[in-house]
Chains A and B, each alone.
Chain A
Amino acid sequence: MTDADDTTVASTSKSTKRTRLRSLYHSRKARQFRANSLNIVGLVIVLAIIASALFAPFLTPYDPTEQNLENRLESPSLEHPMGTDQLGRDILTRLVYGAQISLRIGVIVVAISLGIGTVVGVTAGYAGGYVDEALMRFVDILLAFPGLLLALVIAGILGPSLTNIMIALAVVGWTRYARVIRGSVLSVKEQEYIKASQLMGVSRVRIILRHILPNVIGPVVVLATIDMAGVILGTAGLSFLGLGAQPPTPEWGTMISEGRNYLQDAWWVVNFPGMAIMLAVLGFNLLGDGLRDVLDPRDTDAVQNKGL
């Protein structure tokens, strides 16, 4: 191959990519998403949090765990835009590093929940009968416990650490996915195209992977986005109670917990982490709402697509 060929290939693929992006941008769903400014706000917040997490070391000159007892509880200034905490650490720095932790936990927990939920939901929905009954009653039992309380018990038994928080939240979190997916699978598996595939002798695994999963994943994406907010809030809550991050990890909930004694004299120590949690939760909720508007199967054209 010559260099010229390479360039041609590259530019072609680049232009197709660009075309695809452009068509995505102009697609009906994208326009629908953009039409609501709240959706954009959500997207911007989420992107900002992701960016600050990714580029944390470049955003601030300080180390998140470096103490400076002489400058403790300093109010916000040019040097420390969000002030310093009880050990003289820069709060802004801890917040951006904290974003890494919150996002990492959010993504991992949602991924695990989604994984377990999908497997259970699809199995129950597609297999039906006793399998369905058994799995769904188990889900019902888990759902009967108040979510955060069950997570609290699990994290309490396992001992305080971020890994254990992830386990606790994932154990509690997957049930909703299983339910939603099972519901969708039940309706999708009655479709003619599934029947047709079965008649053609397509294997069960292939039917599930090729024909069912792609058609049930829409509502789950929405759920996952909104769930990110829930997981971030849950992590902060459990850490606030001392079951999560061990000091000096700059986890948002831990920062609030450690700073709450200074609430009256140094408002910045708890209010900034509190605002960070609020913004993150708000961002993911807005984004999730926007996605739901676009992807909801009850939406008219979605209904048409699925032939209901």
Chain B
Amino acid sequence: MTYDTSNKARRTVLKTVGAAGLVGMAGCLGGDDSNESGNGNGNGNGNGDDNPEDRDRSEQERVPHATIAINDDPTRDDWNHYGGVIPYWTNILEPLVWVSNEMELVPWLASDWEQTGELTWEFSLREGVQFHNGEEVTADEVIFSFETILDEWVWAPGWLHIESGNIVALDEYTVEFTTTDPFPTFPGTIAHNLVAIQHPDRDHTEDRVIGTGPFQLEEIEQHQEVRTSAFEDYWNDEPILEELTFRVIEDPNTRTLSLENREIDVALAPPRSRIASIESDDSLYLDRQNRPGAGYAGINIHKSPTDDVALRQALNHAISQETTVDTILEGVGDPGRGPISPIIYWSAHDEITDYEKDDDRAADLVSESDYDGESLEILVANDLVDGREMAQVIQGSLDGIGVNSDIQVLERSAFSEAERDGEAHLILQERGSNSGDADYIIYEGFHSEGDLNQRLYEEEGTGLHNLGGEVDDLIEQGFQTGDEDEKATAYKEAQQHIVDQAVTIPLYYSEFIAAAHENIDGAELGAIPQFSRWTDLEHWE
């Protein structure tokens, strides 16, 4: 339980800083301490003395309901084809394949699957799974669910690599999918909440969402909340709570305030700036879960002066990931070393060497490079959490090695355009996976024909973060193989090149956090947060 001690130490220090603040002292010492002690925490689920498992509940009684505040509105009109509720968060709808917190695929509504040909996949359905309306899940409903998605989203055929009509029932409990091209990551791709299985009788005009999940819909109050109740005939472990409400509170500060006022019991994704006070509040605790995502500054390797590898390496030596995570990120997430989070099995985190923070080395590299005082443009999207602060930290660090830079904060769509047009030198981003397949992170970011690089690659033969040649080959090789070891070898080698050529400035590996009241036990955050499960949630009073 090493995490506990470091967490405790940090909390104590943060309290000290707070106290120093109160009496109006300069507080320099406190600041220094918190910098040292913050290292390496923020891992796993450990929460020190706040751990709810250690609490004595013998004096308390179970309360049958709870309220969770979520940041993302599940009742938007976009979800009418699911009966009016997004399949994220609420556990009402479930996919065929689940993703574990180790990012492994778990048989869910499908009990088994296998690749039967180059393009064909056979999925066996779990027998006896009931929909909320009492009917059994058979191949017909699965086909209906997939066809609905393919019909609803123009991008779905490209995403899932299947087309309408390519899904057939072999018998009542077996479905065969034929992909449009060889697609070894098909099971991982459909291990996504948005590919949920539903009954054709769903109807958004009557708030009728018919899934198979442990909670069934009771009532939707648009843009306000979704009320659910336990589904007694759930095929897996039945939920402990009888009623669970999901309330939409989009502002993170308001979510935390509502939690502090006990209007809600769990607040997902509280703001990082509130972490210290949540941790010092005895009635609240924080749950942490590593995510398959990473934050980094992607360097435009095709634009002068960052087309010079010496300069890019210098930039890497200028940044201290530890300091960034400990200060700006308040210890949420782990210091990054590469662009792929280590909870993805093919991450090269353990193999690659870190660019240590070393201003002298960086300054030497800058003078070796062709850099001649140009100002580097740092591009940030306005909705990247703490993006402005990170951009300013990067700017400050670059300043320290004599490299000038300007920050441009843009609204998300303007950002995407500017990014793909190659207008900036450094692009701050957080990339991760929402499904069991994380391959697309490396493909879209670093392959010449990936989403980010494609525009410039096709128009001008350049790109953004694509080294091309061998790296493209390695990524394709990893993408096309169904063999885990082969994939890992190819992807790791590609990452090695990406790090050696300093294509990114890694910053942090993402972590999902939730704040809960001490009377709440058993929240199971998912590595992909939308896969979080609430069946074991308990509420005591």
Mark A residues whose CB is within 8 Å of B. Answer: 65-67, 69-80, 86-88, 156, 159-160, 242, 246-248, 258, 260-266
Min CB gap B320→A, angstroms: 9
Stretch at the interface among B23-31, B100-108, B201-209, B345-353: B23-31
Residue of B25, B392, B406 with highest tally of chain A CB at under 10 A:
B392
Residues of A within 8 A of B274 (CB): 261, 264-265
Given A72-B31, A86-B328, A258 and B388 touching (CB < 8 A)? Answer: yes
Q: Pick the contact of A77 from B24, B272, B276 — CB < 8 Å?
A: B24
Residues of A within 8 A of B277 (CB): 264-265
Query: How many Å lie between the Cα of A167 and that of B387 in the bound state?
Result: 27
Query: How many Å lie between the Cα of A239 and that of B227 in the bound state?
Result: 38
Query: How many Å lie between the Cα of A71 and that of B273 in the bound state?
Result: 15
B contacts with A, residue count (CB < 8 A): 39
The 4 closest A-B pairs by CB, nearest first: A75-B21, A261-B273, A67-B396, A70-B31
Check: B530 CB closer than 8 A to any chain A CB.
no
Check: B309 CB closer than 8 A to any chain A CB.
no
Query: How many Å lie between the Cα of A69 and that of B324 in the bound state?
Result: 9
Supply 18 A–B pairs (Cβ within 8 Å), ascending by A: A65-B396, A66-B396, A73-B21, A74-B27, A75-B22, A75-B27, A77-B25, A79-B26, A86-B389, A87-B396, A160-B410, A242-B382, A246-B407, A247-B391, A247-B409, A258-B388, A261-B274, A265-B274
Query: How many Å lie between the Cα of A266 and that of B24 in the bound state?
Result: 12
Check: B408 CB closer than 8 A to any chain A CB.
yes
B409 A86 Cβ-Cβ under 8 A: no
Residues of B within 8 A of A265 (CB): 18, 273-274, 276-277
B21 A247 Cβ-Cβ under 8 A: no
B406 A246 Cβ-Cβ under 8 A: yes
B20 A248 Cβ-Cβ under 8 A: no
A247 B35 Cβ-Cβ under 8 A: no
Query: How many Å lie between the Cα of A246 and that of B59 in the bound state?
Result: 55
B410 A72 Cβ-Cβ under 8 A: no
Residues of A within 8 A of B396 (CB): 65-67, 87
Min CB gap A307→B, angstroms: 56
Query: How many Å lie between the Cα of A243 and that of B23 in the bound state?
Result: 37
Mark B residues whose CB is within 8 Å of A. Answer: 17-18, 20-22, 24-28, 31-32, 35, 252-253, 271-274, 276-277, 323, 327-328, 382, 388-389, 391-393, 395-396, 406-411, 414
Query: How many Å lie between the Cα of A53 and that of B267 in the bound state?
Result: 43
Given A74-B31, A264-B274, A247 and B392 touching (CB < 8 A)? Answer: yes
B21 A74 Cβ-Cβ under 8 A: yes
B273 A70 Cβ-Cβ under 8 A: no
Q: A66-B396, A77-B26, A265-B274 are in contact. List 5 more A-B contacts (CB 8 A).
A: A159-B410, A246-B406, A246-B407, A261-B252, A266-B21
Q: Pick the contact of B409 from A67, A75, A242 — CB < 8 Å?
A: A242
Chain A interface, >50% SS class: loop
Min CB gap A86→B, angstroms: 6
Query: How many Å lie between the Cα of A74 and that of B19 in the bound state?
Result: 11
- Residue on B nearest A266 in the bound complex, by CB: B21
Residue of A76, A264, A266 with highest tally of chain B CB at under 10 A:
A264
Residues of B within 8 A of A80 (CB): 26
Query: How many Å lie between the Cα of A282 and that of B278 in the bound state?
Result: 37
Min CB gap B377→A, angstroms: 11
Query: How many Å lie between the Cα of A3 and that of B382 in the bound state?
Result: 65
Given A74-B27, A247-B407, A261 and B253 touching (CB < 8 A)? Answer: yes
Q: Pick the contact of A263 from B17, B18, B253 — CB < 8 Å?
A: B253
A247 B388 Cβ-Cβ under 8 A: yes
B409 A78 Cβ-Cβ under 8 A: no
- Residue on B nearest A68 in the bound complex, by CB: B31
Residue of A70, A79, A87, A156 with highest tally of chain B CB at under 10 A:
A70
B273 A69 Cβ-Cβ under 8 A: no
Query: How many Å lie between the Cα of A159 and that of B410 in the bound state?
Result: 8
A69 B392 Cβ-Cβ under 8 A: no
Given A75-B22, A242-B411, A262-B273, A69 and B28 touching (CB < 8 A)? Answer: no
Query: How many Å lie between the Cα of A31 and that of B430 in the bound state?
Result: 63
Given A261-B253, A263-B253, A248 and B31 touching (CB < 8 A)? Answer: no
A246 B21 Cβ-Cβ under 8 A: no
Residues of A within 8 A of B253 (CB): 260-261, 263-264
Residues of B within 8 A of A76 (CB): 24
Residues of B within 8 A of A260 (CB): 253
Residues of B within 8 A of A75 (CB): 20-22, 24, 27
Residues of B within 8 A of A264 (CB): 253, 274, 277
Min CB gap B322→A, angstroms: 11
Min CB gap B225→A, angstroms: 25
Q: Pick the contact of A78 from B26, B252, B382, B391 — CB < 8 Å?
A: B26
B410 A71 Cβ-Cβ under 8 A: no
Given A265-B273, A265-B277, A87 and B409 touching (CB < 8 A)? Answer: no
Residues of A within 8 A of B273 (CB): 86, 261-262, 265
Residues of A within 8 A of B24 (CB): 75-77
Residues of B within 8 A of A160 (CB): 408-410
Query: How many Å lie between the Cα of A260 and that of B257 in the bound state?
Result: 14
Residues of A within 8 A of B408 (CB): 160, 246
A87 B392 Cβ-Cβ under 8 A: yes
Query: How many Å lie between the Cα of A86 and that of B31 in the bound state?
Result: 12
- Residue on B nearest A74 in the bound complex, by CB: B27
Min CB gap B359→A, angstroms: 14
Query: How many Å lie between the Cα of A84 and that of B406 in the bound state?
Result: 22
Residues of A within 8 A of B18 (CB): 265
Query: How many Å lie between the Cα of A257 and that of B409 in the bound state?
Result: 13
Min CB gap A23→B, angstroms: 50
A246 B409 Cβ-Cβ under 8 A: yes
Residues of B within 8 A of A261 (CB): 252-253, 271-274
A77 B411 Cβ-Cβ under 8 A: no
Query: How many Å lie between the Cα of A23 and that of B388 in the bound state?
Result: 54
Query: How many Å lie between the Cα of A242 and that of B380 in the bound state?
Result: 12
- Residue on B nearest A80 in the bound complex, by CB: B26
Min CB gap A98→B, angstroms: 16
Min CB gap A68→B, angstroms: 8
Min CB gap A211→B, angstroms: 50
Residues of A within 8 A of B252 (CB): 261
Min CB gap B206→A, angstroms: 38
Residue of A66, A72, A260 with highest tally of chain B CB at under 10 A:
A72
- Residue on A nearest B32 in the bound complex, by CB: A70
Residue of B18, B31, B252, B406 with highest tally of chain A CB at under 10 A:
B31
A248 B26 Cβ-Cβ under 8 A: no
Query: How many Å lie between the Cα of A79 and that of B396 in the bound state?
Result: 22
Given A77-B25, A247-B407, A87 and B389 touching (CB < 8 A)? Answer: yes
Residues of A within 8 A of B272 (CB): 261
Residue of B22, B328, B396, B408 with highest tally of chain A CB at under 10 A:
B396
B26 A67 Cβ-Cβ under 8 A: no
Min CB gap B535→A, angstroms: 33
Residues of B within 8 A of A70 (CB): 28, 31-32, 35
Query: How many Å lie between the Cα of A77 and that of B29 in the bound state?
Result: 14
Query: How many Å lie between the Cα of A131 and that of B519 in the bound state?
Result: 73
Residue of A65, A67, A69 with highest tally of chain B CB at under 10 A:
A69
Query: How many Å lie between the Cα of A87 and that of B271 in the bound state?
Result: 16
Residues of A within 8 A of B328 (CB): 69, 86-87
Min CB gap B387→A, angstroms: 10
Residues of A within 8 A of B409 (CB): 160, 242, 246-247
B393 A87 Cβ-Cβ under 8 A: yes
- Residue on A nearest B395 in the bound complex, by CB: A248
